[in-house]
Amino acid sequence: MGRFWRCCAALFIALVPVPHAAWAAEMVLEPTDKWVLNYADDSCRLAHAFGKDKDRILLVLDQFQPGGMMDLSLVGKRLGRIPESRIDLTVTFGPGLPKGELNEAMLGTLGPDKTTIIMAGPRDLLNRPIRRNTGNSSDSLGTITPEQEAAITEVRFTTGTMRLTLKTGPMKGPLDAMRTCMANLVKEWGLDPVQQAALGARVAPTTSPGQWLKPEDYPAGPLFMGAGAIVRFRLMVGTDGVPSQCFIQLATNSPEFTKLTCDLLMKRARFTPALDREGKPVASYYTNSVRWLVP
């Protein structure tokens, strides 16, 4: 299983519509093995399998920077064949927590057997609303305590046709492992994880990230073919607020999008630098994602 997820970290996902299979009114699945933690090149990934045989579904939690945000995905043939490339999806961690937000999720296929994948995007473990106009959604949320993590034992996914609950068990242990993984990654980025966790102010865009990439930037070839992509990136930002390096943390589809994304971000993205506890500018990082989608 570990080998499978190392492969998936670099695998391009086809964002294509797939037909839908019928669901029961409600499905509750128990885990069939232990959590698996994988260190990807520029992110950390937790994976957990639920159900057996035709009902087997993988829950994937990806983290691209330290904090309370996780990118959620579901992988499995049991998810059916859905005739859209985007759906509205509610993700609710629980029990006993407020209902999660209804947000758009991306759909596609994974691997040669075209297994369905639902990419729910960033979600908060306490189901708190994400302020998406801040440029860096992880910074808009409060912290989560070990007691709150231990109380989370399930996650529920709801669409117009799907009601799925995965019984995760207490989340504290898996999330402790994820934090260790992220601290090690920050070290690999050339930064002090203790200093970064105690910043007085994080890197902040000086202009709206929505202005960094424009419709006229869409590559001609993919535009003609109707192809899209999701590109998750990390920018290293110096004390002057100018990005010094761009790294692709995860991407779908054509490599044309990854190089173009980094080239444009390096040219256009500018920031207020991070500040330490004494108010002095320090080097740090900024992560976000781009959706290249044909209207």
The pLDDT profile of the chain, 295 residues, written as one tens digit per residue, is 333 333 333 334 444 444 444 455 689 999 999 999 998 889 999 999 999 988 899 999 999 998 878 899 999 988 887 667 789 999 999 999 999 999 989 888 888 888 999 999 899 999 998 765 444 444 444 578 889 999 999 999 999 888 999 999 999 999 999 999 999 999 999 999 999 999 999 999 999 998 898 888 877 666 556 566 788 999 999 999 999 999 999 887 667 788 889 999 999 999 999 999 999 999 999 999 888 767 6
CA distance 25 to 2: 33
**What was the pLDDT predicted at 5?**
35
**Which helix (DSSP H) or strand (DSSP E) does residue 185 occupy?**
helix 172-188
Of 61, 51, 68, 55, residue with least CA distance to 23:
55
Backbone angles phi, psi at 2, to 5 degrees: -60, -40
pTM for the model: 0.81
Q: Write out the two tokens for 42.
A: 């520029």
**What was the pLDDT predicted at 292?**
77
| Burial of 230 from C-beta contacts in 10 A (0-12 / 13-18 / 19+) | buried
Residues whose CB falls within 8 Å of the CB of residue 77, separated by 6 or more in sequence, listed in order: 54, 56, 113, 115, 116
Question: Looking at 125-194, which runs of residues are DSSP E strands?
Answer: 154-158, 163-166
**CATH code of domain 193-292:** 3.30.2420.10
> Where do the structural domains in the chain lie, given as residue ranges?
2-188, 193-292
**What was the pLDDT predicted at 67?**
82
**What was the pLDDT predicted at 7?**
33
